[in-house]
Amino acid sequence: MLVDATADMLRRHSPFDRMDQKALAFLSERAKLGYFPKDSHIVTPDMGPVSTFYIIQRGKVLARQSGEINVTEYSSLTLGSGECFPIGSVMARRASTNAYIAIEDTFCYQLAADDFVQLMQMSQPFNQFCTQYIATLLNQSRRQLQVQFAQRAAEQQSMSSPLSAILSKAPVTATPETPIRQVIETMVAGHIGSMVVVDAEAQPVGIFTQSDALKRILLPGISLDRPIADVMSSRPHALSEHAHVYDAALAMAMHSVRHVLVTDEAGTLKGVVSERDLFTLQRVGLRQIRQSIEGAQDIDVLKQAGTDVRQLALNMLAQGVGAEQLTQFISALNDTVTRRVLQINLAKHDLYGIEWAWLAFGSEGRDEQTFSTDQDNGIIYTCTDIQNREELELRLLEFAQDVNRDLDAVGFPFCKGNIMASNPELCLTLEAWEEKFDHWIRVPEPQALLNASIFFDFRALYGATHLADRLRVSLLRMAKSNPLFLRMMAANALSVQPPLGKIRDFITDLNAEHPGCVDLKTYGARLFIDAARIFALATGVHNTNTVQRIKLSSQRMGVAAEEAAAIVEGFNYIQLLRLRHQHFEEEHGRPGDNFVNPDQLNELDRRILKESFRQSRKLQQRLKLDYQT
């Protein structure tokens, strides 16, 4: 009876709910139930190497940092029913770096270290849980999300499917020497929209599409006897057959292409995925949206396209697409809308002879836009000695005013802080932007640090993008040569702590207007974003995307890949929770925000959110060590 009762309790928690009967029986038979009264020490560093694995049956345990700060452990956290400790210590047979103290009368299942090792060998779910804790929980959360949206997404094939699953036929190919006439005849006879050009090893070297025939053959009057290599598009976009459908959708959105090649591990062509293929997977299709955006002649059409972008993103969210891919996808299509707004307004303004670029700041600059986003933009331009700067600025400001107005009309609200290109302070020459950045770095006042957190995440969306590249090089040079600035930025980033309680799981009284809630932007995503920005500036990383900043700067700082991956997973989960919450709020007629009530989350999501906040704490501890703040 005791063994059965133990198994029943464990089945209510991850990863025990996914164990097979044999492994669960092994654990239930060998686990001993122990009682720990309030304030008793269960595990401490001075107890020596850990020989027991603990699973909390009921009660609460405080894990508290002992000794100096260690970036591989947490400073303090609270564990509840179904949670385990100390995983890392019992795996390594070393002393715990944390003290685990019962903060109320607590019962724990205890498993000997030898049995723990044997259980890891018996059960793959348990092994994966112990070695990839947060990633495992995230996968479960995504499966739960898919179940919640199952009815809505039932008629759609999952965007999380591998590309190999949607390849319906073998590709038709040609060699570079094949005459153009033969290629076109084959395409017409087979009703084929594209022809892939491959080398002797069947590896793709180019692609020729129906739309290429008009602009590359008919209009220039190219002879049909010439080889297809003369008119094909070289270096076509290719993805592995193991990549997901949403990877192909993202590539099409970001690079404005309509075909993505699919290859095996050896680089051999396996097939072609087109926009039409993706269209069949969605009620609102990528092709439909792209065509409506690119062909839009007025703002009303773009306004509808903006609505379609949100619907397509919702479909992807329902199908379990990860937050990193989803926010990049939203950003890529929003970029397309913004570029079309710029093009429409360029026809109304005389900017001939001006070298300029449209800059995106903030979340758009980081490729991390969610469903609720406003405008953050500016202009960078050059002014030669023979040009009148005041006249150039006036022309650009008039243009920017119309663009900002139209962006507001299509669904990107005006920035309440006036961080928009129509603001004369944000329509500057390259030299003026460099001077502004230099002043913020040399005189890191509170306002300068706030400005840096917004404007240093810039990205060029349209125009002379090389101006933004030059500004990025200048910024990295200035930041790296001023350690005081980086130290001040670190102190500013550490002024906001993750909302983890020592007794309660979460601190939910930080915003008086939203009692019982946690602000996932201010006290969640921002912690990762701020730290990633500092590390990127310190290590010379050019990327603005938070995940890429974490990955690349971690490599340059010698951070273990597993530690960096856990941090990325924590950030991605908070972003995913923001997207889910914003959608649910808007679905119920409320404006999307970032305030989530943890008590309304299921047990699994509460555990992952807590673990995600712990990852942000680890990131902050590294900031403390590196900058001694």
CB atoms near residue 425 (< 10 Å): 10
Q: What distance in Å separates the CA atoms of residue 334 and residue 302, rounded to the nearest whole number?
A: 10
Query: Which residue from 522, 500, 495 is spatially nearest to 511, judged by alpha carbons?
Result: 522
Q: What distance in Å separates the CA atoms of residue 33 and residue 56, rounded to the nearest whole number?
A: 9
* Pairing status of strand 238-240 against strand 259-263: parallel
Please give the distance of CA 219 from its chain centroid, rounded to a whole number.
43
Mean pLDDT of 588-599: 85
Mean pLDDT of 449-459: 94
- Residue 11 pLDDT more than 60? yes
pTM: 0.64
Q: Is 246 helix (H, G, I), strand (E, B) or coil?
A: helix
Helices (H), 347-376: 362-365
Helices (H), 235-274: 245-255
| pLDDT digit string, tens, across residues 158-197 | 566 678 877 867 888 999 999 999 999 998 888 888 899 9
Q: Any idea what the Cα angle at residue 233 is, between residues 227 and 236, rounded to 5°? A: 125
| pLDDT digit string, tens, across residues 342-393 | 999 999 998 988 999 999 999 999 988 887 678 999 999 999 888 888 999 9
Mean pLDDT of 554-578: 90
pLDDT at 74: 41
Q: Enumerate residues 6+ apart whose C-beta is below 8 A from 358.
A: 338, 342, 377, 378, 379, 403, 421, 460, 461, 462, 463
Domains (ranges, CATH) in the chain? 2-131 (2.60.120.10), 163-322 (3.10.580.10), 340-627 (no CATH)
pLDDT at 329: 80
Residue listed under structure tokens 């397509």: 312
Helix 299-318 vs helix 561-587: crossing angle, to nearest 10: 120
pLDDT at 451: 93
pLDDT at 505: 80
pLDDT at 198: 93
Q: What is the dihedral of CA 311, 317, 323, 328, to 10 degrees?
A: -30
- Residue 544 pLDDT more than 80? yes
Please list the residues that pair with 176 across neighbouring strands: none
Distances (CA, A) of 542 to 33, 298, 380, 449, 473: 53, 36, 18, 19, 8
Please list the residues that pair with 87 across neighbouring strands: none
pLDDT at 98: 82
What is the DSSP annotation of 208-243?
Answer: EEHHHHIIIIITTT--TTSBGGGTSEES--EEETTS
pLDDT at 303: 82
| pLDDT digit string, tens, across residues 310-325 | 777 777 776 667 778 7
Q: Enumerate residues 6+ apart whose C-beta is below 8 A from 557.
A: 535, 539
Mean pLDDT of 285-290: 64
Distances (CA, A) of 282 to 162, 245, 301, 365, 419: 16, 11, 20, 28, 35
Distances (CA, A) of 491 to 58, 354, 386, 487, 488: 39, 41, 45, 6, 5
Give yes or no for a contact between 229 and 253, defined as CB atoms under 8 angstroms apart.
no
- Reported as a pLDDT band with limits 50, 70 and 90, residue 140 is low
pLDDT at 305: 78
Distances (CA, A) of 442 to 121, 475, 488: 56, 12, 11
- Residue 619 pLDDT more than 50? yes
Query: Mean pLDDT for the chain?
Result: 86
Q: What distance in Å separates the CA atoms of residue 487 and residue 95, rounded to the nearest whole number?
A: 33
CB atoms near residue 71 (< 10 Å): 16
